[in-house]
Amino acid sequence: AAERAAALNKAADLYEENFGELFAILAREAGKSIPDAVAELREAVDFMRYYAANIPEAAPAGVFTCISPWNFPLAIFTGQIAGALASGNAVLAKPAEQTPLIAHFAVTLLHQAGVPTDALQLLPGEGATVGAALTSDPRVTGVAFTGSTETAQLIRKTMAQNLAPGAPLIAETGGLNAMIVDSTALPEQAVRDIVQSAFQSAGQRCSALRCLYVQEDIAESFKTMLFGAMDALVIGDPWDFATDVGPVIDAEAQSDIGDYIANARAKGAVVKEMDAPETGHFIAPTVIKVD
């Protein structure tokens, strides 16, 4: 236990020492703005220090498959691995196919910190091939997954057919988050939190605000304040310190979200839409009225 804790704490130190390279990869590969990259590094380090301080006494499960998402490619990737390693398990880590460089650098630092190579292996690739193999092999004794509900259900079915009975599945899936603003709310604070929750990380978080309900008799003045705050957002290169909103993860995401907005626009439901850079995978912050 002491050896595991020491390795995780050393890895946390190395993450902090290599912040510049981590920030650069997060911006380049995942489109993270600098404030988002700072928050992601802090969360990853917190995970490692937390698990290092809370090594469980229970016997390890064996070999854990850890499948992480692209929207938090350092924090969630690290958190899954750290939890499994702290419990004495070996880890097969499969990052999202969009963010293998971040995962590779993180695993390099974990190995450098003293995590044995035979206790942590990086297996990048597509979910349909690598992910499917890592959740159907009977030598795997547990799975940690963060991603869509649909994929989690598929993994559960695959595990039931191939893994030992009782093999744990730790699944974190999507969310649909709402905020209600009534006449007792301080509008300045509400607008600040709405803009941060809805548009930080280009809205690509399960915790992002998606549904906003505003009391009718304050709605017009509140919309004026909210739309004014949106106009102040800077959309562009995530490596620029002035940028508030960077790109979405890839062309597929840009196309899917763009089609959704276009459909709403055709119905006259778009009530506020900003301009986005023409080059790159950008989606302009948009407000859509839902009847």
| Chain-centre distance for alpha carbon 9 | 22
Rounded CA-CA distance 135/141 in Å is 9
Rounded CA-CA distance 233/108 in Å is 36
Residue 220 is a catalytic residue? no
- Phi/psi of residue 181, nearest 5 degrees: -115, 115
DSSP string of the chain, one letter each residue:
-HHHHHHHHHHHHHHHHTHHHHHHHHHHHH---HHHHHHHHHHHHHHHHHHHH----SPP-SEEEEE--SSSTTHHHHHHHHHHHHTT-EEEEE--TT-HHHHHHHHHHHHHTT--TTTEEE--S-IIIIIHHHHH-TT--EEEEES-HHHHHHHHHHHHHHSPTT--EEEE----EEEEE-TTS-HHHHHHHHHHHHHGGGG-STTSEEEEEE-GGGHHHHHHHHHHHHHT--BS-TTSTT-SB---SSHHHHHHHHHHHHHHHHTT-EEEE----SSSS----EEE---
Residue 172 is a catalytic residue? yes
Neighbours of 137 (CB within 10 A): 14
Catalytic residue (one of 17, 29, 97, 206): 206
Catalytic residue (one of 16, 40, 66, 172): 172
Answer for the pair 120, 89: CB distance below 8 angstroms, yes or no. Answer: no
Rounded CA-CA distance 256/258 in Å is 5
List the catalytic residues. Answer: 172, 206
